[in-house]
């Protein structure tokens, strides 16, 4: 049986509505994208959506209690909550510089957690 | 009283970019005044990513975007006075400020750039019935509490308004373990960017209820539930459609308003629609030597465009300082016509390539934006989709304005 899934391309303001037709998880056709970037995006979104996770973690001895962080690579959407679980209890010490690697391979994922904000010592 | 060449009010993205542009155009005596402890403005609490694609060809988080500008400002040794509030601004470019440590200071500037940003519309501004009680927050305040102060606002949450900050907070609260029950939007379409609806709501199965609003809030000291209704096309409640949602927190994401109290003190004329100053194509207000840029001028959806605009303001301020005020001739009025909510700038002059920023009133597809003079077409641009949440920019080459019939042009969408 052929099924359909609608995906809105978010890569540019055109916001093309892309239709993916598929049978038991195999893509039959991708329709509606104005440019080829949209086809790639729709395929990725269909097969394995990935997101950059941004959050904040506790920092000790700094001019702020929190330092904002992000993953250096987009990670599978389904893994986001398991990283949040790790971040809940994770803590670093001031000072922190923008770009510092704070954690490598959280939840065995191939990514690093990096600081997005400077925290000075108190 | 101290004399300064250029004083910039606000060290957010607009203020920082304006300062850099003024410096790079030859001005050395620059003072940026910031009321917070840190420069960076609202970007400091916008820890999500999506900034910088246009300016840096990379996707950055808010703090990273601010940091790039701040570093450049520091390299040029431009002075930023933090923890300082401007209490008075006059048309002669006189400023009175209060610094937390030093106390009161007075400045007389050759030029001033307004870059104060915006504030949030509150419940009072949108007529929310029910008593005032704990558990009702604005989205930006929630963001500040969570991302900068590590304060959690609640567990069971409903968000009213689908603007970008509301969508971003729906995801943020979910990530931090709260249960976001719904995002309600009174309009039949969302006011947020597509990207945010996808990545903040659909990713986490948060329902977006269009044509819905809150008509009552219940609870004693703390919010316990809200009464929700569907609305018709005239935004009136549909009788019988009400239902109750239990929640301890209601977050209002109902828009931003340019923060222009100081501008008004200085006799800067304000546009009723944008809530910001009326400006010429060099972003100068009606008061000579006072310029405006960023969210204090009109609300932007992309910080990259704020930076662009602020660079123009900084450059224009530098020019003003170096060559003084010149009375401008050949002024042309710009009018927002059918389907267009507003156009910036509102006043242009001949002999210059121009860039207009505008918003449409309603979402639609396959539309043409036309620039008319005396009902004759002078330029047009077609769009697959237009959306009130996405600012549209249109360039106009100076040659197009050579044979105008009247001293005004009109922008329409058809
Ligand atoms: S498919 Fe291409 S044109 Fe359409 S939204 Fe995506 S990037 Fe833009």
Report the alpha-carbon distance of residue B79 to residue B97 in Å, rounded: 15
Phi/psi of residue B342, each to 5°?
Answer: -155, 160
What pLDDT band is residue B195 in, cutting at 50, 70 and 90? confident
Span B14-52, pLDDT tens digits = 999 999 999 999 999 999 999 999 999 999 999 999 899
Compute the average pLDDT of residues B138-149: 94
Q: Tell me the pLDDT of chain B averaged across its residues.
A: 93
The answer to whether residue A85 neighbours chain B at the CB level (below 8 Å) is no
Distance from CA of B231 to the nearest CA of A (A): 27
Interface test with B, best of A5, A34, A64, A68 (most B CBs within 10 A): A68
Question: In the numeric block, which tokens belong to residue B379?
Answer: 């330029």
Percent of chain A surpassing pLDDT 70? 99
Question: Is there a contact between B64 and A118 if contact means CB atoms under 8 Å apart?
Answer: no
State residue B254's pLDDT score: 87
For the ranges A96-100, B80-84, B365-369, B399-403, which has the lowest average pLDDT? B399-403
Residue B125 scores a pLDDT above 60: no
Atom of ligand 1 nearest to the CA of A32: 1
The domains found in chain B, sorted by start residue, are 1-120+255-327 (3.50.50.60), 122-254 (3.50.50.60), 329-414 (2.60.40)
Q: Tell me the pLDDT of chain A averaged across its residues.
A: 91
State residue B122's pLDDT score: 81
* CA-based torsion, A66, A68, A71, A72: positive or negative: negative
Question: Is there a contact between A54 and B49 if contact means CB atoms under 8 Å apart?
Answer: yes
State residue A106's pLDDT score: 87
Global confidence as pTM: 0.91
Number of CB pairs, chain A paired with chain B, less than 8 A apart = 63
State residue B393's pLDDT score: 92
Compute the average pLDDT of residues B219-245: 93
Distance from CA of A30 to the nearest CA of B (A): 19
Closest CA in chain A for residue B389: A13
Phi/psi of residue B381, each to 5°?
Answer: -150, 130
Percent of chain A surpassing pLDDT 90? 67
Q: Is A38 in the pocket of ligand 1 (CB under 6 A)?
A: yes
Residue B166 scores a pLDDT above 80: yes
CB count within 10 Å of CB B288 equals 14
Residue B129 scores a pLDDT above 90: no
Reference B168, options B198, B210, B188; nearest CA is B198
Query: What are the residue ranges spanned by the domains of chain A?
Result: 3-47, 54-115
Q: Which residues in chain B have Cβ-Cβ distances shorter than 8 Å to A65?
A: 149-150
Question: Is there a contact between A54 and B63 if contact means CB atoms under 8 Å apart?
Answer: no
State residue A2's pLDDT score: 84
Span B322-344, pLDDT tens digits = 987 666 667 889 999 999 999 99
Span A32-85, pLDDT tens digits = 999 999 999 999 999 899 999 999 999 999 999 999 999 999 999 999 999 999
State residue B296's pLDDT score: 98
At B54, which helix (H) or strand (E)?
helix B53-56
State residue A85's pLDDT score: 92
Cβ contact B219:B225 at 8 Å: yes
Atom of ligand 1 nearest to the CA of A18: 1
* CA-based torsion, B404, B405, B410, B414: positive or negative: negative
Place of tokens 């976001």: B180
Q: In the 8-state DSSP scheme, what is residue A32?
A: -
A37 C-alpha vs ligand 1 centroid, how far in Å? 6
* CA-based torsion, B204, B126, B40, B147: positive or negative: negative
Question: Is there a contact between B385 and A66 if contact means CB atoms under 8 Å apart?
Answer: no
Compute the average pLDDT of residues B127-155: 86
State residue B137's pLDDT score: 92
B198 C-alpha vs ligand 1 centroid, how far in Å? 15
The answer to whether residue A80 neighbours chain B at the CB level (below 8 Å) is yes
CB count within 10 Å of CB A75 equals 20
The answer to whether residue A48 neighbours chain B at the CB level (below 8 Å) is no
Report the alpha-carbon distance of residue B33 to residue B20 in Å, rounded: 14
Residue A27 scores a pLDDT above 90: no
Question: Is there a contact between B48 and A54 if contact means CB atoms under 8 Å apart?
Answer: yes
Residue A104 scores a pLDDT above 70: yes
Q: Give me the CATH topology for the region A54-115.
A: CPE0013-like fold (3.10.530)
Span B89-122, pLDDT tens digits = 999 999 999 999 999 999 999 999 999 999 998 8
What pLDDT band is residue B126 in, cutting at 50, 70 and 90? low
State residue B130's pLDDT score: 60
Span B305-318, pLDDT tens digits = 999 999 999 999 99
Closest CA in chain A for residue B390: A13
Compute the average pLDDT of residues B290-313: 96
Reference A51, options B52, B200, B207; nearest CA is B200
Interface test with A, best of B39, B58, B61 (most A CBs within 10 A): B61
Q: Which residues in chain B have Cβ-Cβ distances shorter than 8 Å to A13?
A: 385, 390
Closest CA in chain B for residue A98: B64
Compute the average pLDDT of residues B228-239: 94
Cβ contact B55:B304 at 8 Å: yes
Place of tokens 């510089």: A97
């Amino acid at each position: 049986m052929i099924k359909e899934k609608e995906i809105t391309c978010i890569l540019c303001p055109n916001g093309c509505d892309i239709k993916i037709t598929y049978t038991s998880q195999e893509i039959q056709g991708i329709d509606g994208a104005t440019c080829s970037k949209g086809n790639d995006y729709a395929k990725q979104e269909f097969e394995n959506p990935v997101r950059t996770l941004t959050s904040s973690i506790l920092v000790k001895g700094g001019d702020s209690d929190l330092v904002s962080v992000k993953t250096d690579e987009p990670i599978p959407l389904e893994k986001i909550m398991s990283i949040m679980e790790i971040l809940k209890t994770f803590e670093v010490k001031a000072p922190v510089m923008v770009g510092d690697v704070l954690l490598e391979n959280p939840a065995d994922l191939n990514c690093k957690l990096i600081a997005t904000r400077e925290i000075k010592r108190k | 009283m101290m004399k300064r060449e250029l004083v910039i009010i606000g060290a957010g993205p607009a203020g920082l970019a304006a300062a850099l542009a003024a410096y790079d155009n030859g001005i050395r005596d620059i003072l940026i005044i910031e009321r917070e402890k840190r420069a960076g403005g609202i970007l400091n609490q916008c820890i999500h990513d999506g900034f910088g694609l246009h300016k840096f060809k990379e996707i950055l988080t808010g703090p990273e975007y601010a940091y790039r500008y701040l570093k450049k400002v520091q390299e040029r040794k431009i002075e930023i006075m933090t923890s300082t509030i401007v209490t008075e601004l006059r048309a002669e470019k006189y400023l009175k400020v209060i610094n937390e440590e030093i106390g009161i200071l007075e400045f007389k500037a050759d030029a001033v750039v307004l870059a104060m940003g915006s504030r949030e519309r509150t419940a009072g501004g949108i007529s929310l019935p029910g008593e005032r009680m704990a558990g009702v927050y604005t989205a930006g305040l929630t963001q500040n509490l969570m991302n900068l102060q590590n304060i959690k606002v609640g567990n069971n949450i409903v968000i009213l308004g689908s603007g970008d900050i509301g969508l971003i907070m729906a995801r943020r609260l979910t990530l931090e373990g709260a249960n976001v029950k719904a995002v309600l939007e009174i309009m039949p379409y969302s006011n947020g960017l597509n990207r945010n609806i996808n990545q903040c709501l659909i990713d986490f199965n948060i329902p977006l209820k269009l044509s819905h609003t809150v008509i009552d809030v219940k609870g004693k000291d703390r919010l316990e539930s809200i009464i929700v209704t569907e609305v018709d096309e005239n935004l009136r409640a549909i009788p019988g459609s009400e239902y109750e949602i239990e929640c301890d927190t209601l977050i209002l994401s109902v828009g931003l308003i340019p923060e222009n109290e100081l501008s008004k003190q200085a006799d800067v004329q304000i546009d009723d629609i944008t809530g910001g100053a009326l400006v010429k194509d060099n972003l100068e207000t009606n008061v000579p030597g006072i310029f405006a840029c960023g969210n204090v001028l009109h609300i932007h959806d992309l910080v990259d465009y704020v930076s662009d605009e602020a660079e123009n303001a900084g450059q224009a301020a530098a020019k003003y300082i170096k060559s003084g005020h010149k009375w401008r001739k050949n002024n042309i009025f710009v009018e927002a016509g059918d389907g267009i909510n507003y156009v910036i700038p509102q006043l242009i002059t001949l002999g210059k390539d121009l860039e207009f920023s505008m918003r449409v009133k309603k979402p639609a597809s396959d539309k043409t934006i036309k620039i008319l003079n005396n009902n004759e077409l002078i330029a047009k641009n077609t769009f697959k989709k237009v959306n009130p949440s996405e600012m549209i920019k249109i360039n106009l080459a100076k040659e197009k304005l050579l044979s105008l019939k009247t001293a005004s042009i009109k922008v329409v969408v058809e």
